[in-house]
Structure 1
Amino acid sequence: MTMSETVMLWFDWHGLTLAGSLHLPSQERPHPVAVMAQGSGPADRDSGGYFGPIRDTFVENGIATFAFDKPGCGESSGDWRDYGLEDRAKQMVSALELVRSHPSIDRKSVGIFGHSQGGWLVQKLASRLDELAFAIASSAPTLRVREQILYDCEHALRIDGHDQRAISDALSLANALQLAAINGEDYESISHDLLTPASQEPWYSSFPTIEGPGDWHHVTQLIAEPHEPVSDLRSVRCPFLAVYGGLDTLLPPWRGAEESGRALEAAESSDVTTAVFPIGDHRMQNSDTQEFVEGYLGLLGHWAADRAR
């Protein structure tokens, strides 16, 4: 593990206090930096430990990192379920402003990294911000939110061995929930009309859970927001790396790589790369060893360092 200095930082965002850690390399300052975005669900600044080796790779290559606890996680106030993709993107913008103001950071060499849902944020910000030195989207869907929810549902049941009839029933429930979200139905209604009857089905334990009004509020926000990943990719303005694992079961990786590559060819930025690691899962790990697939960490560090100079 590379030695680095860790600086605790806080910033205010719409009444919240968000807390994070800035990891600084030992090399001479000022440093380039990668601001990191976690995937979906509750997550602290280390993403439950997942970010550790990725952070170390950046630091080894002379790139500082900053990540912050999601609202209501770690030392951050609030509740992550209150915020959809747009608000998460705005929180990232505030984090970028924070690190740019730090004396140890080269304000002209600031990039972003995001995994899974965090990759959606990277796609958004890379299409909107002119001043990014680089952007890396790892296992980022090219599906729209509603499509991704249906994909999650189908493949969760398929992996658990349910037959096609069960999968069809589960997808019918998922579609009904999406319609209820669009129509503004509250949790009590969808619990009584949809979730409780479905809970008697053998496949329900494999269905993505919605536990209480907070979860439902979050789902309704995600579904209501316009989000067009392929359109974002076509509008990328900075050096961009899209990485997929060929054995990912949470999104269609080969389709994602093809759509990313095709969209990035039309982007404003000419420095774009799409890579697939054939034996990588959604976490870019070998599912048998739970270790990152060979070459993944090296690609992240070297690719970012080449753009951060």
Structure 2
Amino acid sequence: MFGKRVRTAKRRRWRAVAGTLIALSLLAVSLGGVVLWQNTYDLREEHVTLRHRGADLDGVLALPEEGDGPFGLVVFVHGDGPVDATHETFYRPIWESLAKAGYASLSFSKPGISGSEGNWLDQSMQDRADETLAAVAWARARPEIDGRRIGLWGASQAGWVLPKVAAQDAGLRFVIAVSPAIDWGRQGRFNLLAELRRDGASAEERAAALRRRETTQRLLQAGATVEEYRDATGDDDMTADRWRFIAKNYTSDATADLRAMHGTPVLLVVAGHDINVDAAETETAYRELLPRDSLDVRRYPDATHSLVKHDVERSTVKLTLTAVFAPRALFADGFLADQRRFLERLPDSRAAAASAPRTPGR
């Protein structure tokens, strides 16, 4: 009798374990479905290659899910760092929003990243502008793209690239500038002080950091080697490539190029929690340097430099879960929709789309 009770209890436990495993399996399948659904976008992505200065750049052309075109186009210009064409999928919610306005998106991995040849740390801001101009020229030859409706989207470091491109190509239809800086030197100092405040640095730590910064500036002006920089500052993490990149670009200033932009319509996006760029300085400069009727400014008080919601970005767990389960919710409220509306409200945008010839065979 006792043995029977034991066998009955074991069967019950196994049934409970089996039921739990089945429930967990169903939950995993359900969550997998949610992840798949949330990370599926209304886009048609095509792998493309741009040949520029003897090297191949690997890219993505993201077309609206429906329609034959020709479509308007947004050419993406990355910020700092080793960025691939999708920015590790970060761009896709933005591409989808732009597609709702009838625009395709074009983005290339930086040289040396994800199939692109070369080394992005070899580039000056003018090199980056030349690469963007080459991407625009390539796109104008594509039958599914309306060459009259091509513009730029760029973030952070792209703030020194976008105005150069727009100043050199008067045919560009618009620029969307997200958290751009004006002056490389002032931006670096602002970022340093903001990070020190965030980290609760003491007055002594702040003074020491500023002294190291002044030393770095003197070394750059003197054309010092990376070894001389390391010896003077104790920063052994600085690579030769990175030092060379900084030396090429530390005098960057967007002021002259902004003045030369031919009145190109600009959507300036600034964030309330930006510790990388002085958003107030940027907005003031754009208002002073650009014609009033060409500038549209959108502020997002709850956003960080990347336009991710502040409360999401400051929590690793929340950031990870949101990126996996609801990537569109990463961005500040209104950010995606405001870009779509900006494109839809451009003068003659709808008329150009309606009157453009249809692409044969599509």
Q: How many residues end up aligned between the 2 structures? A: 291
* Amino acid of the structure 2 residue aligned with 1:262: E
- Could you tell which deviates more after superposition, 292-301 or 121-130? 121-130
Q: Flag the 1:119–1:55 CA change in 2: closer, same or farther, 3 A.
A: farther
Mapped to 1, the partners of 2:239 and 2:312 lie a distance apart of 35
**How far did 1:159 drift?**
1.5
Check if 1:132 corresponds to 2:172: yes
* Amino acid of the structure 2 residue aligned with 1:231: A
CA contact (8 A) 1:2 1:60 kept: no
CA contact (8 A) 2:50 2:57 kept: yes
Check if 1:234 corresponds to 2:234: no
CA contact (8 A) 1:260 1:274 kept: no
TM-score (norm 1): 0.88
Mapped to 1, the partners of 2:173 and 2:226 lie a distance apart of 43
Q: Which of 48, 51, 54 is equivalent to 1:9?
A: 48
Q: Deviations over 1:78-106 (max 9, x none)?
A: 11111121111111111111111111101
**How far did 1:165 drift?**
2.2
Mapped to 1, the partners of 2:124 and 2:207 lie a distance apart of 28
Mapped to 1, the partners of 2:160 and 2:88 lie a distance apart of 19
**How far did 1:146 drift?**
1.6
Mapped to 2, the partners of 1:186 and 1:247 lie a distance apart of 35
Mapped to 2, the partners of 1:4 and 1:53 lie a distance apart of 10
Q: Where does residue 294 of structure 2 map in the other structure? A: 271
What are the residue-to-residue correspondences of 1:56-205 with 2, within 5 Å? 56-142=96-182, 144-196=183-235
Query: Secondary structure of 2:167's partner?
Result: helix
**How far did 1:154 drift?**
2.0
Q: Where does residue 246 of structure 1 map in the other structure? A: 272
Mapped to 2, the partners of 1:195 and 1:49 lie a distance apart of 36
Q: Percent identity?
A: 25
Gaps of 5+ in 2: 1-39, 314-329, 351-362
Check if 1:258 corresponds to 2:258: no
Q: Deviations over 1:28-54 (max 9, x none)?
A: 310100000111111101123321211
Q: Where does residue 39 of structure 1 map in the other structure? A: 79
* Amino acid of the structure 2 residue aligned with 1:82: D
**How far did 1:110 drift?**
0.6
* Amino acid of the structure 1 residue aligned with 2:269: V
Query: Secondary structure of 1:250's partner?
Result: coil
Structure having the higher Rg: 2
TM-score (norm 2): 0.76
Mapped to 2, the partners of 1:37 and 1:184 lie a distance apart of 29
Mapped to 1, the partners of 2:257 and 2:203 lie a distance apart of 34
Mapped to 1, the partners of 2:160 and 2:142 lie a distance apart of 26
CA contact (8 A) 1:139 1:244 kept: yes
**How far did 1:164 drift?**
2.4
- Could you tell which deviates more after superposition, 299-308 or 107-116? 299-308
Query: Secondary structure of 1:40's partner?
Result: coil
Query: Secondary structure of 1:49's partner?
Result: coil
* Amino acid of the structure 2 residue aligned with 1:236: M
CA contact (8 A) 1:114 1:120 kept: no
Q: Which of 289, 302, 312 is equivalent to 1:289?
A: 312
- Could you tell which deviates more after superposition, 160-169 or 38-47? 160-169
Q: Which of 210, 220, 223 is equivalent to 2:247?
A: 220
Gaps of 5+ in 1: 200-209
Query: Secondary structure of 1:228's partner?
Result: coil
CA contact (8 A) 1:20 1:66 kept: yes
- RMSD across aligned positions (CA): 1.8
Q: Where does residue 32 of structure 2 map in the other structure? A: none
CA contact (8 A) 1:58 1:301 kept: yes
- Could you tell which deviates more after superposition, 71-80 or 161-170? 161-170
Q: Deviations over 1:206-247 (max 9, x none)?
A: xxxx52211111111112x5x332333233221111110122
Q: Which of 277, 295, 301 is equivalent to 2:340?
A: 301
